Amino acid sequence: MIQVFSKQPQIGTTIFTIMSKLATDVGALNLAQGFPSFDCSPQLIDLVNFHLKKGHNQYAPMAGVPALKEAIAEKTSSLYKVSYNPENEVTVVSGATEALYAAITAVVCPQDEVILFEPAYDSYAPSVELNGGIPIYITLEPPNYQINWDLVKQKISAKTKLIILNTPHNPTGKILTINDLNQLAAIVKDTNIFIISDEVYEHITFDGRQHLSLMQHPSLQERTFICGSFGKTFHITGWKIGYCLAPKELSVEFRKAHQWITFATSTPLQYALADFLKEPSYYLALPEFYQKKRDKFLVCLQNSGFSYLPAEGSFFQTVSYSDISDENDYELAVRLTTEIGVAAIPVSVFYHQKNDYKILRFCFAKDDEILEKAGERLSRLFSKSF
């Protein structure tokens, strides 16, 4: 019988898969995995149909359909005043997960060190390790999850190849400030350290805050792979389509990895998005749309006993129950799903040592009725059990 030696012995199934399955099995409201409960624009569906019927059904060019690369470059330049050449600095990929993996694969060699901030999106560390890299963790703590840049400086070594950042941040909803970017720029100046900036929630920011892209800082732009996703922006997480923006020399290496991972991304979807991107009002409406959702959810949480700082961005709200209960966050998330009927993500899963700060993450990209129902159920949680 063949013996299998796991390349990832510590890795199980992702928390999103586990919690979504549990939610489905017990019929709970799924506020765990990050996806909207509502559909995308009907115009977008019409555009896909149009391009399917037009015969856009064979392989797209490896780096993306020119019309979509151009539309992404135009949107980027109009929003952030930074120009990327669609020809050789914009690459369309099959979701931000691929963008992250391809960028990591493009630069990380065995024994290279990669600085990660925890809580970290679950794909970062395994993608580094599959490339032989060594994650160097910097722990951010609730409630502010502030980055201590002096600590970052101390963790930099001759082996540091890459720093991975995420703003707006999943799961904390925090947004990096100009002060963060300046401190980062001072640290990487005169080094050969690359940066990946995961900006999939770029359009979801609240209370008048602006998303600050790393591309807007010239000394960071030259070394940064910006990873984006249409999944969050157009309510199409199931389409798995995203992109990477990076200076030419970086994009050359990025594309070398991309061509062996997926080679190209779905052709009709690319054409449809190229057309749809011409109308900025869809994505420009997102801050207001999601702020209403966040505020609605916060009102729904009023009787829950949870404490929280309102999310600054993303479609996630973290809540603390440390004042009320000692229960382990993973166990509480499971119990919440099975007994109360609301699924959440325990934030300890985003720390490599499973730090349990008694924090849960809820996704509020849901119809108002679902948020209201979740609020009613959550108000019973602590009165029932503690």
Q: At what angle do helices 42-53 and 267-276 cross, to 10 degrees?
A: 130
**318 is a site residue for ligand GLN (CB under 6 A):** no
At closest approach, how far in Å is the CB of 242 from ligand PMP?
4
Nearer to ligand PMP among residue 237 and residue 337 (C-beta): 237
CA 119 remoteness from chain centre = 12
Show the 3-state SS of 3-49: CCCCCCCCCCCCHHHHHHHHHHHHCCEECCCCCCCCCCCHHHHHHHH
Q: Please name the residues in contact with 289: beta carbons below 8 A apart, sequence gap of 6 or more.
A: none
CA 120 remoteness from chain centre = 9
The interface partner of residue 235, options being ligand PMP, ligand GLN, none and the CB cut-off 5 to 8 Å by kind, is: none
**170 is a site residue for ligand GLN (CB under 6 A):** yes
The interface partner of residue 19, options being ligand GLN, ligand PMP, none and the CB cut-off 5 to 8 Å by kind, is: none
At closest approach, how far in Å is the CB of 231 from ligand PMP?
4
**36 is a site residue for ligand PMP (CB under 6 A):** no
The token pair at 195 is: 């940066």
At closest approach, how far in Å is the CB of 168 from ligand GLN?
12
At closest approach, how far in Å is the CB of 379 from ligand PMP?
28
Q: What residues does 313 pair with on adjacent strands?
A: 205
Quickly list DSSP for 161-175: EEEEEESSPTTT---
**34 is a site residue for ligand PMP (CB under 6 A):** yes
x/- map, 12-51, ligand GLN, by CB under 6 A = --x-x----------------xx-----------------
Answer for which of 237, 251, 266, 348 binds ligand PMP (CB under 6 A) is 237
The interface partner of residue 33, options being ligand GLN, ligand PMP, none and the CB cut-off 5 to 8 Å by kind, is: ligand GLN
**For residues 323-342, which are near ligand PMP according to CB under 6 A?**
none
Neighbours of 295 (CB within 10 A): 14
Quickly list DSSP for 84-152: --TTTTEEEESSHHHHHHHHHHHH--TT-EEEEEES--TTHHHHHHHTT-EEEEEE--TTT----HHHH
The interface partner of residue 242, options being ligand PMP, ligand GLN, none and the CB cut-off 5 to 8 Å by kind, is: ligand PMP
Q: At what angle do helices 286-300 and 368-378 cross, to 10 degrees?
A: 30
CB nearest ligand GLN: which residue? 34
Q: From residue 193, how far is each of 80, 117, 314 by CA, in Å?
A: 23, 16, 27
Among the residue ranges 62-70, 237-245, 323-331, 333-341, the one whose residues contact ligand PMP (CB under 6 A): 237-245
Give yes or no for a contact between 165 and 116, defined as CB atoms under 8 angstroms apart: no
At closest approach, how far in Å is the CB of 345 from ligand GLN?
7
Answer for which of 30, 166, 205, 266 binds ligand PMP (CB under 6 A) is 166
**For residues 112-131, which are near ligand PMP according to CB under 6 A?**
121
**231 is a site residue for ligand PMP (CB under 6 A):** yes
The token pair at 22 is: 């549990």
Peptide bond into 110 cis (omega under 30): no
Residue among 118, 117, 122, 77 at smallest CA distance from 96: 122
**312 is a site residue for ligand PMP (CB under 6 A):** no
x/- map, 353-372, ligand GLN, by CB under 6 A = --------------------
At closest approach, how far in Å is the CB of 1 from ligand PMP?
36
Strand 342-343 relative to strand 29-30, pairing: parallel
Chain residues binding ligand PMP by CB under 6 A are 34, 95-97, 121, 166, 170, 198, 200, 229, 231, 237, 240, 242
